[in-house]
Structure 1
Amino acid sequence: MRKSLLLITAAVLALGAGPALAKKQLVIVVKGLDNPFFEAIHQGCEKWNKENASSDYECFYTGPASTSDEAGEAQIVQDVLGKADTAAVAISPSNAKLIAQTIKTANPSVPVMTLDADLAAEDSALRKTYLGTDNYLMGFKIGEYIKKGKPNGGTICTIEGNTGADNILRRAQGMRDALTGQKGLAELKGEGGWTEVAGCPVFTNDDGAKGVQAMTDILAANPKLDAFGIMGGWPLFGAPQPYRDLFKPMAEKIASNEFVIGAADTIGDEVAIAKEGLVTALVGQRPFEMGYKAPSVMIDLIEGKPVEDPVFTGLDECTKDTVDTCIQK
């Protein structure tokens, strides 16, 4: 009799407990799942989950299959902002204006922040903070390395990503400002001795192979070109062997600064390429740190705690001579 009562009591308690409550989602939406840079953000997100297994929150990483799918990213943002279990969202906007309009339309009741790439300045009130790289400074440092290699200036081509990506546009502006000593020039026409050649900047939609092909075409059309400013590392980490094939014949020119290449990022094969002397300098971001920090920042926003705006994650600078120690761990 006593045993039967115990079994019945246990069954009632189990029924009363019901299923385990689902965790609230701290959503990270990136430009595309096909980019190793964003996979590093994903790994940071997963590390946070492992270290906070007992939390009521879970870091959830998502994005369109391709970085070229701007509309797909906007649709994902709209969808996650409409879900009941979404507690906060961190977005890396591929097209800043499109994402801004998506946020306006959704009119979210949960905190929204940007990650890696920001909204345009006039839309900044739509998000609580930006977490990631100081993109203007990143571009400025790339420009400083190019200028150090070619102090008297020359001809240059800028390799960019998506036309509406605010982070890439800020880098390009920083590079131009460093090269010329002037602020806000949209194109270089001899200022500071620097001229951007016809057909540049080239927008590659973050496609490495497309970037290498564009550089091949630019070099063929401009055999006396002096420099490339690569605002994202896509040609180096996305198409490393074609990149090597293109620049190995120019290794001596790169070593002597007869030809200068300043590039963004320090992921994938990029540091190895720097060690091989096939790029003058890399200025790298810290995507793993972005993914790891984002959930904690989102929780602070949910709880109404003060959060700085922006929250910068720092830079790493690599040249052939510093590759063994240039990455901040």
Structure 2
Amino acid sequence: MTHRLIQVTVLVLACHGIALTGQATPGAANTPNATKEQGSIALLAKSVSDLNFVAAWRGCQEYASRRQYQCLLLGPEGSASPRAQLQALDAAVTTHDIDALAVSVTHSALLAHRLKSLSVPVFTFDSPLSAPYQGLSLAYVGMDNRQMGRELGYLARQLHPKGGTLCLMSAENDTNLNLRMAGVREVLNRGWTELARCPWDSGDSVNRALRQLQTTLTQLQPDVFIAVGHWPVLEPHRLQAMLTALETNGASHHTSLLFATGHLSEAQLSLLNEGLVDGYVAVDFYQIGRAVAQQMIAYLAGENPAAPTPVPSRTYTRDRP
């Protein structure tokens, strides 16, 4: 897959009361620049195609614009890739005049060498650096990923109090996803067996995740399937069609389906209400964006901001929508 770095910016034209939203490749003639009165902070996403990171950018921009800053969303398009993110990091610091940077980390070891050389303050959000490299970040802002995994484990335990078989889905290398899997396993450490075929590596791909889920339901048939990311439910109409087709063809399954995700759409909630999905643990990326902007701007103002409070996650079930 070819990855292209894109930038998303919002400029508020106060004199006319107009909000102008634009996307541009670096160096394009219409790329807005910060004025002397306006600084720039940036979010380096795993993928700018991921709506969770777009939501985080909106929260970041909302907070920043009230404090004479603009917030840039930078990163590769398409499926998340550590090497594509490293290229995006190189482009971000060479192309843009950034005062502070927050990174959602794909692969800590791969990014660490480049982060060490940066002259701007670095924060992490959504996905922190792994333990050996955490000193490269001034603070991590986001959800407690291990607790998010525990919440998924609690849901599984409520659905199957006697234990059972488990299949996990993740994506390789991502620190936050590894923490979530650790949280699941911490809760389901007795009476549960992980199937040998799992955990699946979704490759951060909706198509791949749906194929893997179909194999799980038709061949592996665990008691519980847990995706520690939102890949299978990112396009809810496709998941609905797949699950409905299984039932129509007489291949109905007994597997409970649980997902970690960002803000839930009406279509994703409908899957829950229709009984096709058994539960979500969701987090508000807009609030993560606001919180990380607050940390960066406070630091740039010479303040010593308090350690960030984790952005809470919320559990959704049919009994607790």
Report the TM range for the smaller structure's normalisation.
Answer: 0.7 to 0.9
Distance 1:45 1:84 in 2: 17
- Please say which structure displays the higher CA radius of gyration: 1
Distance 2:264 2:114 in 1: 31
C-alpha contact (below 8 Å) 1:235/1:243 kept by paired residues: yes
1:97 and 2:109 are equivalent in the alignment:
yes
Unaligned runs of at least 5 residues, structure 2: 1-33, 248-252
1:259 and 2:255 are equivalent in the alignment:
yes
Cα offset, 1:198, TM superposition: 2.3
Higher strand share: 2
Aligned residues: 281
1:58 and 2:70 are equivalent in the alignment:
yes
1:28-75 superposed Cα distances (whole Å, 9 cap, x missing partner): 1100011111121122123224434xx1x2211111012333212112
1:189-225 superposed Cα distances (whole Å, 9 cap, x missing partner): xxx12111122101112222211110111223224x2
Q: State the SS of the aligned residue for 2:188.
A: helix
Distance 1:41 1:315 in 2: 15
Q: State the SS of the aligned residue for 1:312.
A: coil
Report the RMSD for the aligned CA atoms in angstroms.
Answer: 2.2
- Percent identical pairs in the alignment equals 25
Cα offset, 1:280, TM superposition: 1.6
1:172 and 2:200 are equivalent in the alignment:
no
Distance 1:60 1:148 in 2: 42
Tell me what 2:59 maps to: 44
Q: Which amino acid is the alignment partner of residue 322 of structure 1?
A: R
Decide which moves more: 168-177 or 263-272. Answer: 263-272
Distance 2:179 2:42 in 1: 25
Unaligned runs of at least 5 residues, structure 1: 1-18, 181-191, 252-256, 324-329
Distance 2:260 2:216 in 1: 19
Higher helix share: 1
Q: Which amino acid is the alignment partner of residue 199 of structure 1?
A: R
Cα offset, 1:258, TM superposition: 5.0
Tell me what 2:87 maps to: 75
1:106-125 superposed Cα distances (whole Å, 9 cap, x missing partner): x2222100011000011100
Tell me what 1:243 maps to: 239
Q: Decide whether aligned partners of structure 1 residues 308 and 169 sit closer, same or farther in structure 2, where only a CA change above 3 A counts.
A: farther
Tell me what 2:273 maps to: 275
C-alpha contact (below 8 Å) 1:228/1:260 kept by paired residues: yes
C-alpha contact (below 8 Å) 1:81/1:89 kept by paired residues: no
1:79-105 superposed Cα distances (whole Å, 9 cap, x missing partner): 33346721000000122221223212x
Q: Which amino acid is the alignment partner of residue 157 of structure 2?
A: K
Residue correspondence of structure 1 range 93-242 to structure 2 within 5 A: 93-104=105-116, 107-161=117-171, 163-180=172-189, 192-223=190-221, 225-237=222-234, 239-242=235-238
Decide which moves more: 121-130 or 240-249. Answer: 240-249
Q: TM-score by structure 2 length?
A: 0.81
